[in-house]
Every structure is written in structure tokens, then in C-alpha cells.
Amino acid sequence: MNKDFKHTKQTGFKTPNDYFNNLEDAVFDKLNAKSNLDSIDNPGFGVPNDYFSTIESKVMDAIKNDEKEVKVVSLLSRRNLLYMSGVAAAVVLMFSIFITKDTVTFDSIDTELVESYISTQNINSSDLAALWNETEFSDFAFDEYELLDETVEDYILENSNIEDLLID
Amino acid sequence: MVKEEEQLVVELQTASTREQAFRELMTLYKERLYWHIRKIVISHDDSDDVLQNTFIKVYKNIEKFKGDSKLYSWMYRIATNEAITHLNKNAKRFSISSEEMLTKAVNNLTSDVYFEGDEIQLKLQKAIATLPQKQQLVFNMRYFDDLKYKDMSEILETSEGALKASYHLAAKKIETYLTSD
């Protein structure tokens, strides 16, 4: 190694003119600078008069209304439609045997006709449940019905509150 | 959990005392939750909707509360999620991003009867709206709500170190915005 280089005291760095003369002022300026944020202690929002005194009763009313609505069972889910169409088809078949000699098959029944019949006749799920016994249920070939992911997603999005499923 | 809070949770999770305990819970936390929500969704009407939805959700899910965090942290988290979801839903309705939705809401403050702030307070809201969502939450919770980083960590499920860094960045950006024209 070069001996001169090892013993040099000069770093080669420079400062701007009057840098050290102005340094105290610059430091005190920064110390005294008032932050714009310091002058703001609240966001400036207001509320209607007596707003907070009404919250409890509004929420309890909403909860009670919600509890009443949950008891109403939707007839229009696909699973219910499947059960109802099966029962309606059986009913139609029964009538057709007594009224006409022509053979009616399940395939010949129009699904829309069955849905319309169920809607107009106010058939509810308790009525349907009474028509099925355990043996018939277990024989039902659920495995044959392959549900697409898209179908499941659509059902969940239309029929439940997804946020409820996300709370831990 | 504080002992009184333990007792409140027991009463909330008991059918016979649930309603009364829930009313007490609402009275205790309604204002804190409201102001937290308000700083996210900006408008009073939206805040009112979100606050009610938050309490309804708390009521429906109170039996699932296991006590592994403070009750207030749990509720605060629900309120935060509800507020963000509300913002996102409104944005979708107008076919804009949630950032644009927030900017729209802040710009409407000039004609909002429930905004009593001056020019600098309005500018601060605009500054906050320019931040990424998490930084907005951290800034509001630390600067206006004075929440400890430990509590914020529980609510936002983020480390204290990350929250401190986030706050520092947010404050710097806001200062820059406030000093700009």
C-alpha cells in the first residue's frame, strides 16, 4: 500500500459557504416550526341533535324485525324447487291415472308448470316434508346432481350474507 | 379482559340477560364506534347505517366471541370491516373504485350540514383520502382516537412495528399535503 495514502488527514469533503455560520439558526428554525397537523385536534364532523340517544332503540327494533323475517322460509331455493317439483309431479301423475287413460311420464311434465302450480297452491316445506319418508330421502340420488362451482357461488351470494361467514 | 367486561360478556351470551346487556354495551360504545366509522365513510347517513349494522352483527355473533381479544377490539374490527364493505358497495353502485368513492364523499363535505370543520380540517380530510386504506385507518386511530399501538395491533391484526412505520409515513405524507398549495 502507498505510505502517503495511509497517513493522510484530509478526507477531501467540502461544505457550502457559510454553512457553519448559519447552522444554529437552521436548527432553531426546525425546532420551532409548528406542524400544520398540531393545529388540528378533531376532524370537524358533526351529528344531528339527540342522535346518540336514539341508537339503542333503533338497533333493537332492527334486530327484532330481522328475527321475524328469518322465520319466513324462502320457497324459491333450487333445492326446495327440486323437492316441490317431485311432489307436484307425483300429484299430477296420480290425477292423470284416474282422469285419463293416457300415460303421463315425469319427463313429459313441464317444469315451469310445476313451479307455477306450487306457487299458486301455497305449498310450503312442511307440507312437502310430510310427503317424504326417510327411505325415500335416502334413496334420492343426490350424487347424480353435480353442482358447478359457479352455481354454488351464485347461490351463496344471492341467499346469504357472505360477511357473516367471514367473521372469526 | 377486564373483570367487568367478563361479566358483560357472560350476560351477553346468556339468553335471559342478553337484551339488557346488549343495551348497556351499545350505550358504552356507540359514540366511540360511531366516530371511528365516520372517519372511514365520511357521511353521517352512511355512518348511521354502518353503526347499526355493526351492532346487529355484534348481537348475532356474540355467542361466537371467545374472549381471546378485548370485546372492544372485536367490535372495533367488525365496525372497520362493515365500514369498508359499505364503502366498497357504494363504489360498485356508482361503478367507481373505493378510492374515488372516498374522494367523492370528501369533496361533498363542503355542502354537508354535518361537517363543521374549517378550511384546514377539510384539507386534512382530503389529505387522508390520498393515503392507502390501511394508512388511513392507522392515522385516524392514532391521531384522532389516541389508540395505543398494542390495541391497534389487535384490531387491525398487524404488528406494532408495522403500524408505527405506517403512522410515521402517513403523518409525513399528510404534512406534505397540508403545506402544498
pLDDT of residue B127: 95
Q: What is the CATH number of the domain that holds B127?
A: 1.10.10.10
pLDDT tens for each residue of B84-134: 999 999 999 999 999 999 999 999 999 999 999 999 999 999 999 999 999
Determine phi and psi for B115, rounding to 5 degrees. Answer: -125, 120
Q: Is residue B68 part of a domain?
A: yes
> Considering the domain boundaries, does residue B104 fall inside one?
no
Residue B111 domain-assigned (yes or no): no
Q: Which of B68, B98, B128 is the last residue of a domain?
A: B98
How many whole angstroms separate alpha carbon A77 and alpha carbon A59? 29
Selected residues 16-55 of chain A with any CB under 8 Å from a CB in chain B:
35-37, 39-40, 42-48, 51-52, 55
pTM > 0.90: yes or no: no
Question: Rounded CA gap, A50 and B80, in Å?
Answer: 24
Residue scoring higher pLDDT (A12 or B66):
B66
Range of the domain at B93: 1-98
Which of A36, A39, A45 is the best mutation test for B, with the most CBs of B within 10 A? A45
Q: Is residue B93 part of a domain?
A: yes
Taking contacts as CB-CB distances below 8 angstroms, the residues of chain B near A37 are 124, 143, 171, 174-175, 178
Which of B136, B145, B122, B147 lies closest to B171, judged by CA?
B136
Shared domain for B2 and B82, answered yes or no, is yes
Q: Tell me whether residue B109 is in a domain.
A: no
Whether residue B15 is found in the same domain as residue B90: yes
Q: How many CB pairs under 8 A join A and B?
A: 93
Question: Which is nearest to B101 in space by CA: B117, B118, B83?
Answer: B83
Residues B163, B91: one domain? no
Q: What SS3 class is residue A45?
A: strand
Task: Report the candidate in B130, B141, B134, B158 with the shortest Cα–Cα distance to residue B33.
Answer: B141
Do B161 and B85 sit in the same domain of this protein? no
**Chain position carrying cell 372516498:** B102
Q: Render pLDDT for A98-114 as a digit per residue (tens, 0 to 9).
A: 665 556 676 777 777 77
Contacts of B57 in chain A (CB under 8 A): 163-164, 167
- CATH number of the domain that residue B93 is part of: 1.10.1740.10
Environment class of residue B34 by beta-carbon count within 10 Å: exposed (0-12), middle (13-18) or buried (19+)? buried
- pLDDT level of residue A168 (50, 70, 90 thresholds): very low
In a domain, B107, yes or no: no
Which one has a higher pLDDT value, A90 or A123? A90
Of the candidates B98, B130, B160, which is a domain's last residue? B98
Number of domains in chain B: 2
Whether residues B75 and B14 share a domain: the answer is: yes
Say yes or no: A12 contacts chain B, CB-CB below 8 A. Answer: no
How sure is the predictor about A153, in pLDDT bands with cuts at 50, 70 and 90?
confident
Question: Among A46-55, A64-73, B107-116, B160-169, which stretch is predicted with the lowest mean pLDDT?
Answer: A64-73
Among the candidates B50, B69, B98, a domain finishes at B98
Q: What is the ipTM of this complex?
A: 0.85
Listed residue (A82, A56, A35, A132) closest to B24, CA to CA:
A56
Q: Which of A72-86, B44-58, B151-165 has the lowest mean pLDDT?
A: A72-86
Determine contact, residues B91/B101, Cβ cutoff 8 Å.
yes
Contacts of B55 in chain A (CB under 8 A): 55, 59
